[in-house]
Structure 1
Amino acid sequence: MRFEESIYFSLLPHNKLEFSFGNYYLFDNFVISELHEGIHFDWDKILEVIGALIDYYGEQIEIAYISNRVDSYSLEPQLWHKFHEEFDFIVAIATVAYNDFGYYTASIEKQFAQISLKRCEELPEAMDWVKNLKEFRRN
């Protein structure tokens, strides 16, 4: 389910960023990405998104990342390692996989991620998980 088709679209305040390769929905402490069918999400695209996120959240950014994989696209899993070497603002990742191949791909990426990566079957499951991360709990 695309975020805009979910009940949360009208319930949760957010901002939308549109790129040629996909859409990003920005919340207080997490981001939902929905990349377009068939694109290859490479380092240049990652840097474009990072620049926009830093512009939006500021230099002290600390967020969770939800990859809502409603469409099929490619990504080099080792880019997670490169990302964590250069940037350190994503505290956890939730990947929503809608089929076996997507789940398998997320399992491979989990091996390369240096932070917690949860594989989910539905967008609400991913959103609940990131909203309850200990990094975002207020005492």
Structure 2
Amino acid sequence: MKFENSIYFTQLKHHKVVFPFGTYYLFDNYIIAEHTEEIHFDWPKIKEISDYLIDFYGPHLKIGHITNRINHYSIDPNLWHKFNKEYGFVIASAIVIYDDFGYRNATLEKQFSTNSIKRCSSLEEAIFWMQNLKEFKT
């Protein structure tokens, strides 16, 4: 389910950003990403969104990342290591999975990431988990 079609779209305060490769919803402590069907999410795209997030949140940001896998697309899982070395502002990630293919991809990405990645079966589960991370409790 797209974030815009969920009950949370009207309930949670967010900022929507549309890129050629996907739509991002920015919250206080986390983002939700919905990538375009069949794109290859490569380093230039990661750099573009990362630079935007640094401008939006400020240079010392620490956020969570929810990938709402409503579409199939590819990403090189080795880019997680490069991202963490270059930027490192993602504290934890959740991947919302809708089919077996998505589950297999999320499992592969989980093996390459040094951060916590939770595989979720619904957007509700991912949002709840992200909102309750101890890193965001004050």
TM-score, with normalisation over the residues of structure 2? Answer: 0.99
**Alignment partner, residue 91 of structure 1:** 91
Give aligned pairs, total.
138
Cα displacement string for residues 74-114 of structure 1 (whole angstroms, at most 9, x for unaligned residues): 00001001111111110000000100000110000000010
SS at match of 1:23: strand
Q: Percent identity, aligned pairs only?
A: 54
Residue 121 (structure 2) pairs with residue 121 (structure 1) = yes
SS for the counterpart of 1:72 is coil
- The 5 Å alignment of 1:6-45 reads 6-45=6-45
For 1:3-82, list aligned pairs within 5 A: 3-82=3-82
Instruction: Give the CA deviation at 1:40.
Output: 0.3
Runs of 4+ in 1 over 3 A off after TM superposition: none
The gaps in structure 1 that reach 5 residues or longer are: none
Distance 2:86 2:35 in 1: 22
**Could you report, residue by residue, the CA deviation over 1:5-39 in whole angstroms, capped at 9, with x for unpaired residues?**
00000011000110001000000000000001010
**Offset at 1:67?**
0.4
Q: How far apart, CA to CA, are the structure 1 residues paired with 2:56 and 2:124?
A: 24
Q: What is the rounded CA distance, in whole Å, between the counterparts of 2:8 and 2:134 in structure 1?
A: 22
1:47-87 CA distances to partner (integer Å, 9 max, x unpaired)? Answer: 00001101110001110000000000000001001111111
Superposed CA RMSD in Å reads 0.5
SS at match of 2:71: coil
Letter in 2 for 1:40: H
Instruction: Give 1:46 shift.
Output: 0.3
